[in-house]
Amino acid sequence: MLKDELLGKIANCRLCGLCEGRTNVVPGDGSWDADVFFVGEGPGRDEDLQGKPFVGAAGRLLTEMIESIGMSRDEVFITNVVKCRPPSNRDPLPDEVRSCRPYLDEQIKIIKPKLIVTLGRHSMGHFLPGLKISEVHGQPKRATGIWQDRQVFLPLYHPAVALYDSRKKDVLFEDFEMIPLILKKLNESS
């Protein structure tokens, strides 16, 4: 599928109940040629209003972390497991995730990132089920199942957690430093 066709499908999507409450769909933002692909959980209030991912307080921290490793938001791709805001920022329900999954799969197929960075437990569980984020954050992983052999995954804490916990914020900034190291390794071996 081509990018514009995919964006059209996402924009008009009515596959689950989240479409009823949305102001805007939040398909994702950044470079469609990115090496690094960030996946959060779902849009919050600010994201729903602007139609862009990670533009609220957690988003500002994410931008700061991306810039701390010498990259910019323009050269990475940022999206979420679900593209519409769950009411009151609750976790997306399994059938909402199931309905939205083809869009994420298709984005990954088109962009072909080298590294997929999962933000938070929920996003990690989508690709790397059964792991505990407190045990594996900051460690590059290969996925199993349909994701096998395609990309390297880096599970990280969600930036929203770091807004209220300065120790987690330090851990996140440290874990972020893995991103250029993993890219360098992948580039050397390709």
155 in contact with ligand URA (CB under 6 A): no
Binding mask 75-114 vs ligand URA (x if CB under 6 A, - otherwise)?
-----x----------------------------------
C-alpha to C-alpha distances, 31 to 73, 93, 108, 136, nearest whole angstrom: 8, 29, 12, 27
- State the minimum distance, in angstroms, from the CB of residue 47 to ligand URA: 4
Q: Which is nearer to ligand URA, 61 or 71 (CB)?
A: 61
Kindly determine how many residues on this chain lie close enough to bind ligand URA according to the rule CB under 6 A: 12
Which of 142, 124, 162 shows the shortest CA–CA distance to 40?
124
40 in contact with ligand URA (CB under 6 A): yes
41 in contact with ligand URA (CB under 6 A): yes
Q: Are 29 and 77 within 8 A, CB to CB?
A: yes
43 in contact with ligand URA (CB under 6 A): yes
Name the segment binding ligand URA (CB under 6 A); options: 51-59, 90-98, 161-169, 173-181: 51-59
47 in contact with ligand URA (CB under 6 A): yes
Which of 51, 44, 74 shows the shortest CA–CA distance to 159?
44
| Separation of alpha carbons 143 and 114, rounded Å | 13
Cα 17 → chain centroid: 21
